């Protein structure tokens, strides 16, 4: 069984692939990061928002980011659709949190649902992870549907957290707490 970050996976599904980003993804990543539709539901301190230039983000992604998180690109028919993230790794209890974000033109196509399914299957089947969690802003009902479709259960409703905004963010907490 692999420890979580012993390798960067390349995961192929029925209609999408999760794999490391390359410099070819610079323009699409920049479009994602600059989309107010996407980032209205996400924390302000995400790795891809740390640097103003998408090329620099990609060049640093698999060196700076790998201590407690991993970001993979989501691709459909070779086109960049968004990001899948594994973050908040707690080795002592074999726990990780997951998240995803897609360019708006890919919303509603089942891509996030498939991506989350691939991530959880990889984590439970190929690593020593035993607990997978997620957090969503309470108003992000589309993401809540994706989590439910993948067997996650809401365990906390309307918790207040610091997501890097002026006011605290109201979030729901989700868990898929055991190997399948």
CA atoms within 13 A on the CB side of 98: 30
pLDDT along the chain (180 residues), means of 10: 73 98 97 95 90 94 82 97 95 94 98 98 93 96 97 97 93 81
Contact in structure between 127 and 89 (CB atoms under 8 Å) = no
54 assigned to some structural domain? yes
Q: What is the CA radius of gyration of the chain?
A: 15
167 assigned to some structural domain? no
Collapsing DSSP to helix, strand or coil, 5 comes out as coil
124 assigned to some structural domain? yes
110 assigned to some structural domain? yes
The CATH number that applies at residue 45 is: 3.40.630.30
Within 10 Å of residue 23's Cβ, how many Cβ atoms? Answer: 10
What lies within 8 Å, CB to CB, of 150 at 6+ separation is 113, 116, 117, 120, 176
Give the model's pLDDT for residue 179: 57
Domain count, the chain: 1
Contact in structure between 28 and 80 (CB atoms under 8 Å) = yes
Give the model's pLDDT for residue 83: 98
CA atoms within 13 A on the CB side of 24: 8
Give the model's pLDDT for residue 1: 41
Give the model's pLDDT for residue 157: 98
Contact in structure between 12 and 5 (CB atoms under 8 Å) = no
Range of the domain at 121: 11-132
């Amino acid at each position: 069984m692999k420890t979580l970050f012993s390798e960067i996976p390349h995961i192929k599904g029925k209609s999408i692939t999760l794999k490391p980003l390359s410099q070819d993804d610079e323009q699409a990543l920049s479009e994602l990061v600059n989309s107010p539709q996407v980032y209205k539901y996400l924390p302000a301190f995400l790795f891809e928002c740390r640097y103003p230039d998408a090329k620099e983000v990609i060049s640093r992604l698999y060196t700076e980011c790998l201590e407690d998180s991993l970001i993979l690109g989501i691709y459909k028919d070779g086109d960049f659709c968004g990001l899948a993230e594994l973050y908040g790794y707690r080795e002592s209890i074999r726990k990780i949190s997951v998240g995803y974000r897609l360019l708006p033109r890919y919303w509603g196509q089942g891509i996030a649902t498939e991506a989350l399914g691939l991530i959880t299957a990889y984590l439970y089947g190929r690593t020593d992870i035993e607990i997978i969690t997620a957090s969503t802003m309470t108003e992000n009902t589309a993401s809540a549907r994706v989590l439910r479709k993948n067997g996650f259960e809401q365990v906390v409703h309307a918790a207040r957290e610091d997501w890097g905004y002026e006011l605290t963010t109201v979030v729901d907490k989700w868990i898929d707490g055991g190997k399948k």
